[in-house]
Amino acid sequence: MKLNAIVAGVGMTPFGKHMDTGLKALGAEAVKQALADAGIEQEALEAAWVGNAAAGLVTGQESIRGQVILRSIGLGKLPVVNVENACASASTALHQAAAMVTAGLYDVVLALGVEKLYHADKRKSFGAFSGAVDVEAMQEIMQRLQEGAKQSGASAGSSGAGEKRSMFMDIYAAAARGHMSRYGTTVEQFAGVSAKNSFHGSMNPRAQFREALSVDQVLAAPMIAEPLTRPMCSPIGDGGAAVVLVSEAKARQLGIERPVRVVSSVLRSGWDHEYDEEGAGELCSREAYEEAGLGPQDLDVVELHDASAPAEIMAYDYLGLCPKGDGGKLIDEGATRLGGRLPVNTSGGLLRKGHPVGATGIAQIVELTEQLQGRSGKRQVEGATIGLAQNGGGNIGSDVAAMCVTILKS
């Protein structure tokens, strides 16, 4: 479906460890910022979609998460749709909100993503990720990860998944080892992703980590699961991000001077396929380009789902940013660094901005909107008019569980 919704305002909390701040406060802050940015009162909202992945397990809040958050700032009556779709929860909420505006059902809607992952009991935090796979096949998955790690000599990756770390780091580590074997990608190139994103994140006041790292520092950091050192793995985090979307008629009424339009958003589930066959990432990006009437050569800035450093290089492939297997070369060339031909993850990405999973997809839209409106400060991509966001979540078999690719145009 070709979309035509306009971003009227965006808001986002700093991402990080907010042990004394609850889900309601995080969500409320993001919503208030987005409304102020749009220049509208909250009573103008006609509906809301609220993305969250793990509150039921981490905080105990189930069933009515969005209503609880919005009621805390006096927002009642309007229809609220709670969206849970793993790490793609927020982008799914945005996808649905934009579709409803495009269809003409509403003129002013809210898309909110919010998450609290830090908890005194770390097992609860890690457990939130362990539930994003087929839990009935958990024993088989863990056995396969451990055997694969042992066969490749990955001693750190042979134990501790889901207990000392998110099991997704082991899934990414296995994929990274496969990518190195098939395409010759190097651990230095993976480290280069982390170093690049740390440089970008050092200029982002809302990023969880603000320290710029060198490739050598990334490589020297503690090993998590071979070949991933700690800076190659996205941290857990707390935070919220919100977007107010409006119709064209409402945008004219509000007098929005620098409109950013959602021109396409494609949401798909993965499926069973061979490693070298097309997957959800390729399909979503191809359909998003077709809907927008654009191609990868038209992009000015990209925010993608770098839950691990290798995930960014793999995304270069299926987003069509390079020939398959050549993602590492983009890092060597500096092509995806600020000042390069296509800056990627100018926010610092998940690796440095942080990854409160239910907020991540909309946080990407916040960054892209500000880039396309020329208000990103030191991180500004000169003359940016077209941006792409890629946000995936969960894992089943050989593919992601949910994938969303969204294209914005100013």
Q: pLDDT tens digits for 105-152?
A: 999 999 999 999 999 888 888 777 788 888 888 888 778 777 776 776
- What is the spatial distance between Cα 180 and Cα 298, in angstroms, rounded to a whole number? 29
In the predicted structure, residue 273 carries a pLDDT above the cut 70: yes
Can you give the pLDDT at residue 87? 96
* Helix %, strand %, coil % of the chain (to 5): 45, 20, 35
Mean pLDDT calculated for residue range 24-34: 98
- What is the spatial distance between Cα 56 and Cα 32, in angstroms, rounded to a whole number? 24
Fold of 5-120+236-409: Peroxisomal Thiolase; Chain A, domain 1 (3.40.47)
Can you give the pLDDT at residue 56? 93
In the predicted structure, residue 295 carries a pLDDT above the cut 70: yes
Can you give the pLDDT at residue 331? 98
In the predicted structure, residue 162 carries a pLDDT above the cut 60: no
Question: pTM score, two decimals?
Answer: 0.95
- What is the spatial distance between Cα 171 and Cα 307, in angstroms, rounded to a whole number? 11
Buried b vs exposed e over 149-179: b needs ≥16 C-beta within 10 Å? beebebebbbeebbeebbbbbbbbbbbbbbb
Can you give the pLDDT at residue 51? 98
Strands (E), 319-358: none
Can you give the pLDDT at residue 135? 84
Hey, what are 337's tokens?
């660094």
Cα-Cα-Cα-Cα dihedral sign, residues 215, 220, 226, 231: negative
In the predicted structure, residue 257 carries a pLDDT above the cut 60: yes
Just list the catalytic residues: 87, 355
- Provide, rounded to the nearest whole percent, the portion of the chain with pLDDT above 70: 96
In the predicted structure, residue 377 carries a pLDDT above the cut 60: yes
In the predicted structure, residue 318 carries a pLDDT above the cut 90: yes
CB count in 10 Å sphere of residue 275: 10
Confidence of residue 339 (pLDDT cuts 50, 70, 90): very high
In the predicted structure, residue 163 carries a pLDDT above the cut 80: no
Mean pLDDT calculated for residue range 156-166: 59
Torsion of CA 390, 396, 398, 403, to 10 degrees: -20
In the predicted structure, residue 74 carries a pLDDT above the cut 80: yes
Mean pLDDT calculated for residue range 247-262: 94
Q: Examine residue 79 and say whether the peptide bond preceding it is cis (omega within 30 degrees of 0).
A: no
- Coil/strand/helix, residue 227: coil
Confidence of residue 1 (pLDDT cuts 50, 70, 90): low
Mean pLDDT calculated for residue range 295-319: 97
Write down the mean pLDDT value for the chain.
Answer: 94
In the predicted structure, residue 31 carries a pLDDT above the cut 60: yes
